[in-house]
Amino acid sequence: MRSDVSRWMLLAVFLLALPFGASADWGALNMPVGVTEISKEVYTLHMRIFYICCIIGALVFAVMIYSMFAHRKSKGAVAADFHESTAVEIVWTIVPLIILIAMSIPAAKVLVKMEDFSDSDMTIGVTGYQWRWHYSYLDEGIEFYSQLDREHNAARQQGAEVDLEQFGEIYLREVDNPLVVPVGKKIRFLHTAADVIHSWWVPDLSVKKDAIPGFINENWAKIEEPGTYRGKCAELCGRDHGFMPIVVIALEQADYDEWVLDQQNKVAAATIDADRAWEHQELVATGEAVYQSNCMSCHQKEGQGIPGMFPAIGGSHIATGDIDTHIETVLNGVTETAMTGFSGKLSDSELAAVITYQRNAFGNETGDTLQPAALKTFRQGQQQTLLTQPQLVTDTGVN
Amino acid sequence: MSYSDNTHGDTHHGDHDDHGPAPGLMRWVTTTNHKDIGTLYLWFSLLMFFIGGAMALIIRAELGAPGIQFVDPMFFNSMTTMHAIVMIFGVVMPAFVGLANWMIPMMIGAPDMALPRLNNWSFWIMPFAFTIMLSTLFMDSGGPAGGWTLYPPLVLQMGDSFAYVIFAIHFMGISSVMGSINIVATIFNMRPPGMTLMHMPMFVWTWLITAFLLVATIPVFAGAVTMLLTDRFFDTSFFSAAGGGDPVMFQHIFWFFGHPEVYILILPAFGIVSSIIPTFARKPLFGYDSMVYATASIAFLSFIVWAHHMFTTGMPLAAELFFMFSTMMISVPTGVKVFNWVSTMWRGSMSFETPMLFAIGFVIMFTIGGLSGLMLAITPADIQYHDTYFVVAHFHYVLVPGAIYSLMAATYYWIPKWTGNMYDETLGKWHFWISTIFVNVLFFPMHFVGLAGMPRRIPDYSLQFADWNFVATIGAFGFGFSQLLFVYIIVKCVKGGEKATGEVWEGARGLEWTVDSPAPYHTFETAPVINESTLTR
Ligand code: HEM
Ligand SMILES: [Cu+2]
Ligand SMILES: [Cu+2]
């Protein structure tokens, strides 16, 4: 009876394995080697401990399997009587201990190197928000938010009839504003978070560090090759934890310098944009786009919200009532709820647009138009109350 | 090595106390009999196994293909959270307590547990605690969705149902602590003359140590969740930087409980396997003393490795080095256990009935999980592994073909003693083989996607992970549905079947095999005689 079952099972294993073995691309199966000195050393450690584990496993399983065939009662094996040996026990305590010590020395060396934050060439503040990253280049005065690309965001909604194949390997790993850095520079990252704990992880750089609200963590990378490196938030941070990717683009120094100039010009242009007068329709159209990439994950596509968690915008007293309350809600958020303030995350034009949109969509018919310039004035009057998020102003405050 | 019937240690005949169970449903409500309570615990955890399993299948269904197909990401998060809470606190822990209740008194020759009324209470708290816990899923603000690790500030974003979650956790904790106190009291006070500590069966030893771990760590956990409760509802700021607190402090407290907890989930399994392998190898356990010492050192070390779950939180270098070394150390005694099991098999006279198959499956697949644990201990590499599917693969290898397999092995091993009937051996073997194939199809690919960069606790992923996730989902459904076979086998065995002898297994040693099958309602009301033939070593 026994061998009957086993024989069937072996056949089943074989048949199950067939279609899988035959199919082609299984993607990467191993840790990436990465593009920094540290990531390469980490990879080496990983492979070394992996091989050690394979050898130990192979030895143990070989003995077991041999024994299972050779020492079975059905073959007439008679049980031996030994059941103790201090010498053997000592050997299999000491030998693994030696292997472990041999392994821990190189591991400790790499760890010490990873924790050496001195002599960095530049510093970037990385703040985690639900569910986007904020980058600020402390020396260049550039700052921006970076979140899941809008097309990917639409594709990942429940019931979205979108062919994911078009995105391929970068599905959910594309952002609107990637982090751009130079190669060959020791970049120091300062991590913190505004709401809950996040974790900034880019496998190719072998960096993963928690972003903890109210605390600042250090980290560093020195990228050796230009390229695009993708990562993800690694610490569960709420509903859209799976949807806050990281994209790092490493450029040669000259290209990087050009990018910096470009960014600085854009900041100047946005100021001009906010000061001009906008058409109502233009605001609504811009607002819809802003809504879809910033608000929809909670308030939902049709503005209906999720009962018990996120209020509906359609018919909301705030979105149809006094506009000042509406502006305040969007700028500052509502403390101790998932509704964080959007002041600073969105530009003045975007803020004015999304508020105008909310007041004229989902059945709300206020007919209001909020000009970016008016919002800017409102916001500047409120500046004081906005300093509720942790700020990475200078690096002097860090250990 | 077979005993004649007159070695039966059970002499309850004619005793004034010789009544069977009370009739009707009230038997189960008011019972203080260790066997009844053990049975209750075991049925309870079997039920919870299917509830937790259904949640796992919801998770795997969503992850079967990229894109969001079935559930909202928020609900997905409550499924992962609830699945873990149910499996840990509702399946593995109560099942081990159930086995302890049934077997410890019979293994040491005691008439019952030391504190029988407390015992009734420890069990009956559990259904209430879990009803409350599961009911949060139907409340307006939903079930807990911040992960079973309950990290603030995220967990504090939960709505008012959070209070119910904390309340339920407190009650599960009370139940565990009372159960543990009872086990310690029983082992220390109820052993008959001759049953010295160093003669106790390994299962009793591992439970003794587990019980101490529980008594030491559950109150720490209770303190941590109470601080969460006051942070959430009473404006304290233990874990909020804005009020001078520290969210990472929670992680330290949690894992000071959490790491010993993972050993709570495995030490009794070590005990079970150490009972089964000698029986079917027909050879005494190799290195009994070193097994006891290894278990004790694992328990001690488990208190000084907690921060290996926190290597990315930005600890000082010295702390990272310390926790790396201590974590590597813990695999030494774990290795000793594995080597001892293999040596017990070596030159035995093995037969492969279902309990033995599950026990061998345990040793092999637990070792795989232990080896990936060793990889995780290498801190620089863990920074890459942490919070990826590689970790998910690691702990599922130690928990599913580890802890859960030990429970299945225990069920097949002792069910003839519980019911008086043999289970269906052919079906048992099918159960083992089908489960083993699917459990590997389910969990092995997770190593790959984890290394290749797939984070854990996400409802959707990039396309390069699609193939292996699909494979894992097939494995999940296969494994899940093959457990219906397990239930069928159990029910069939309870209802009838070939009658079991008192000894049940040819190579079985120990007091529990000296009583009839099914074990009479009261056993060892007078202390049994302890000698060579009734001891396991
Ligand atoms: C050989 C001994 C073991 C070692 C060296 C080890 C090491 C580790 C390490 C370093 C982690 C943290 C991984 C990370 O999050 O980055 C971990 C996670 C985990 N281990 Fe182990 N482990 C061992 C055995 C066990 C056993 C016996 C169990 C339970 C039966 C277990 C259950 C878990 C669980 C549940 C987690 C994940 C917790 C979570 O984050 O949700 N491990 N292990
Ligand atoms: Cu995040
Ligand atoms: Cu641990």
- Using CB atoms, pick whichever of B77, B433, B448 lies closest to residue A29: B448
Tokens of B29: 């409500």
**CB of B383 within 8 Å of any CB in chain A?**
yes
Maximum pairwise Cα distance, chain B: 73
Tokens of B430: 């099918």
The values of phi and psi at residue B528, to 5°, are: -75, 160
Is residue A327 within 8 A of residue A370, CB to CB? The reply is yes
Query: B438 Cβ partners below 8 Å, 6+ apart?
Result: B475, B476, B478, B479, B482
Question: What is the Rg, in whole angstroms, of the alpha carbon atoms belonging to chain A?
Answer: 28
Q: Tell me the mean pLDDT in the region A189-217.
A: 94
**Closest residue of chain A to B338, computed from CA coordinates:** A60
- CB contacts, 8 Å: A85 with chain B: 287
**CB of B287 within 8 Å of any CB in chain A?**
yes
User: Residue A335: which CATH number?
Assistant: 1.10.760.10
Distance CA B360, CA A23 (A): 32
Number of helices and strands (H, E) in chain B? 17, 0
Between CA B152 and CA B160, with CA B154 as vertex, the angle to 5 degrees is 95
Class of residue B453 by CB neighbours under 10 A (exposed 0-12, middle 13-18, buried 19+): buried
A259 belongs to a structural domain: no
Is residue B351 within 8 A of residue A2, CB to CB? The reply is no
For residue A176, pLDDT over 80 is answered with: yes
Q: Tell me the mean pLDDT in the region A269-290.
A: 84
Atom of ligand 1 nearest to the CA of B334: 1
- SS3 of chain A: helix, strand, coil, percent, to 5: 50, 20, 35
Q: For residue A151, which amino acid is it?
A: E
Closest by CA to A298, choosing from A284, A288, A311, is A311
Query: Across the beta sheet with A217-221, what order do the strands follow?
Result: A142-146, A132-137, A122-129, A187-193, A217-221
Distance CA B148, CA B477 (A): 23
Work out whether the CA dihedral B394, B302, B457, A307 comes out positive or negative.
Answer: positive
pLDDT at A9: 59
Distance CA A306, CA A283 (A): 26
Q: Tell me the mean pLDDT in the region A111-139.
A: 92
Q: Return the active site residues of B.
A: 83, 112, 148, 175-176, 259, 261, 263, 274, 308-309, 334, 337, 456
pLDDT at B239: 94
Q: What is the distance, to the nearest Å, from the Cα of residue A57 to the centroid of all Cα atoms in its chain?
A: 34
pLDDT, tens only, A3-34: 556 555 555 655 555 444 444 344 578 899 99
Q: For residue A132, which amino acid is it?
A: R
Domain range for A145 is: 122-251
Q: How far is the CA of B269 from the centre of ligand 1 (A)?
A: 16
Beta carbons within 10 angstroms of residue A366's beta carbon:
14
Residue nearest to atom 32 of ligand 1 (CA): B395
Q: How many CA atoms lie within 13 A of A14 on its CB side?
A: 6
Q: How far is the CA of B308 from the centre of ligand 3 (A)?
A: 6
- Using CB atoms, pick whichever of B73, B375, B467 lies closest to residue A53: B375
A344 belongs to a structural domain: yes
**CB of A399 within 8 Å of any CB in chain B?**
no
CATH 3.40.120.10 fits B8-307+314-534, yes or no: no
Q: How far is the CA of B141 from the centre of ligand 1 (A)?
A: 31
- CB contacts, 8 Å: B462 with chain A: 167, 169-173
Closest by CA to B99, choosing from B237, B211, B227, is B211
**CB of A99 within 8 Å of any CB in chain B?**
no
Q: What is the distance, to the nearest Å, from the Cα of residue A294 to the centroid of all Cα atoms in its chain?
A: 17
**CB of B478 within 8 Å of any CB in chain A?**
no
**CB of B289 within 8 Å of any CB in chain A?**
yes
Chains A–B, number of C-beta pairs less than 8 Å apart: 324
pTM of the model: 0.85
Binary contact (B283, A81; C-beta < 8 A): yes
Q: Tell me the mean pLDDT in the region A364-391.
A: 70
- CB contacts, 8 Å: B240 with chain A: 214
Maximum pairwise Cα distance, chain A: 96
Q: How far is the CA of B271 from the centre of ligand 1 (A)?
A: 20
Closest by CA to A376, choosing from A338, A316, A321, A331, is A331
Does residue A204 sit in the same domain as residue A306? no
Does residue A126 sit in the same domain as residue A247? yes
Is residue B45 within 8 A of residue B403, CB to CB? The reply is no
Beta carbons within 10 angstroms of residue A273's beta carbon:
15
**CB of A72 within 8 Å of any CB in chain B?**
yes
pLDDT at B21: 76
Using omega within 30 degrees of 0 as the cis cutoff, is the peptide bond preceding B153 cis?
A: yes
How far CA B471 is from CA of A180, B84, B253, B444, B477, in Å, comes to 37, 22, 37, 10, 10
- Which of A71, A93, A114 is the last residue in one of the domains? A114
pLDDT at A163: 84
Is residue A211 within 8 A of residue A198, CB to CB? The reply is yes
A328 belongs to a structural domain: yes
Binary contact (A45, B381; C-beta < 8 A): yes
- Using CB atoms, pick whichever of B151, B283, B433 lies closest to residue A9: B433
A22 belongs to a structural domain: no
User: Residue A78: which CATH number?
Assistant: 1.10.287.90
A260 belongs to a structural domain: no
Lowest mean pLDDT among A186-195, A344-353, B329-338, B461-470: A344-353
pLDDT at A382: 65
Distance CA A150, CA A174 (A): 9
DSSP H helices, chain A, are 2-22, 37-70, 86-114, 150-155, 253-275, 280-294, 296-299, 317-320, 323-332, 348-359, 372-382
Distance CA A6, CA A8 (A): 5
**CB of A338 within 8 Å of any CB in chain B?**
yes
- Using CB atoms, pick whichever of B69, B320, B387 lies closest to residue A199: B387
pLDDT at A13: 57
Test mutation, A67, A78, A127, A230, chain B, max B CBs within 10 A: A67
Test mutation, B63, B374, B427, B535, chain A, max A CBs within 10 A: B374
Work out whether the CA dihedral B469, B471, B472, B477 comes out positive or negative.
Answer: positive
Does residue A169 sit in the same domain as residue A224? yes
Q: A205: helix, coil or strand?
A: helix
Between CA A34 and CA A40, with CA A39 as vertex, the angle to 5 degrees is 85
Per DSSP, B475 falls in state H
Q: Characterize A164-200 residue by residue with b for buried, 16 or more Cβ atoms within 10 angstroms of its Cβ, and e for exposed.
A: beebeebbbbbbbebbbbbbebbbbbbbbbbbbbbbb
Instruction: Provide residues with CB under 6 Å of ligand 1.
Output: B 149, 262, 265-266, 308-309, 327, 330-331, 334, 370, 373-374, 376-377, 382, 385-386, 391, 394-395, 398-399, 402-403
Write the DSSP assignment of B140-195 as a string of letters. TT-S--STTTT-TTGGGGS-TTHHHHHHHHHHHHHHHHHHHHHHHHHHHH-PPTT-
Per DSSP, A29 falls in state -
* CB < 8 Å from A in window 190-219 of B: none
- Using CB atoms, pick whichever of B347, B429, B437 lies closest to residue A2: B429
Here the ipTM equals: 0.90
Does residue A175 sit in the same domain as residue A218? yes
Is residue B299 within 8 A of residue B292, CB to CB? The reply is no
- Which of A65, A89, A114 is the last residue in one of the domains? A114
Between CA B482 and CA A146, with CA B59 as vertex, the angle to 5 degrees is 155
Closest by CA to A82, choosing from B505, B507, B281, B1, is B281
> Domains in chain A: how many in total?
3
Test mutation, B80, B154, B274, B331, chain A, max A CBs within 10 A: B154
Does residue A244 sit in the same domain as residue A309? no
Is residue A164 within 8 A of residue B465, CB to CB? The reply is no
Binary contact (B314, A28; C-beta < 8 A): no
Q: What is the distance, to the nearest Å, from the Cα of residue B409 to the centroid of all Cα atoms in its chain?
A: 13
Closest by CA to B159, choosing from B138, B147, B143, B170, is B143
**CB of B326 within 8 Å of any CB in chain A?**
no
**CB of A115 within 8 Å of any CB in chain B?**
yes
Using omega within 30 degrees of 0 as the cis cutoff, is the peptide bond preceding A226 cis?
A: no
A13 belongs to a structural domain: no
Tokens of B440: 């590997």
Closest CA–CA distance from residue A272 to any residue of chain B (Å): 36
Is residue A210 within 8 A of residue A197, CB to CB? The reply is yes
Binary contact (A239, B321; C-beta < 8 A): no
Tokens of B535: 């001891």
DSSP H helices, B234-353, are 247-264, 267-281, 288-301, 317-345
Q: How far is the CA of B387 from the centre of ligand 1 (A)?
A: 11
Beta carbons within 10 angstroms of residue B138's beta carbon:
9
Beta carbons within 10 angstroms of residue A370's beta carbon:
24
Per DSSP, B226 falls in state H
- CB contacts, 8 Å: A78 with chain B: 349
- Which of A84, A114, A144 is the last residue in one of the domains? A114
How far CA B483 is from CA of A176, B97, B355, B427, B486, in Å, comes to 46, 21, 16, 12, 5
pLDDT at A266: 80
Does residue A301 sit in the same domain as residue A225? no
pLDDT at A342: 85
Does residue A291 sit in the same domain as residue A224? no
Please name the residue that has the structure tokens 């996400």.
B458
Domain locations in chain B as residue ranges: 8-307+314-534
Tokens of A364: 């709300």
Closest CA–CA distance from residue A40 to any residue of chain B (Å): 11
Binary contact (A30, B331; C-beta < 8 A): no
Q: How far is the CA of A150 from the centre of ligand 2 (A)?
A: 17
A262 belongs to a structural domain: no
Lowest mean pLDDT among A82-96, A212-226, B203-217, B248-262: A82-96
Work out whether the CA dihedral B418, B421, B422, B426 comes out positive or negative.
Answer: negative
Closest CA–CA distance from residue B10 to any residue of chain A (Å): 30
* Per-residue tens of pLDDT for chain B, all 537 residues: 333 344 444 444 444 445 677 778 888 998 999 999 999 999 999 999 999 999 999 999 999 999 888 999 999 999 999 999 999 999 999 999 999 999 999 999 999 999 999 999 999 999 999 999 999 999 988 899 999 999 999 999 988 999 999 999 999 999 999 999 999 999 999 999 889 999 999 999 999 999 999 999 999 999 999 999 999 999 999 999 888 999 999 999 999 999 999 999 999 999 999 999 999 999 999 999 999 999 999 999 999 999 999 999 999 999 999 999 999 999 999 999 999 999 999 999 999 999 999 999 999 999 999 999 999 999 999 999 999 999 999 999 999 999 999 999 999 999 999 999 999 999 999 999 999 999 999 999 999 999 999 999 999 999 889 889 999 999 999 999 999 999 999 999 999 889 999 889 988 889 999 999 899 999 998 888 888 777 777
Binary contact (B452, A107; C-beta < 8 A): no
- Using CB atoms, pick whichever of B246, B287, B372 lies closest to residue A89: B287
pLDDT at A383: 52
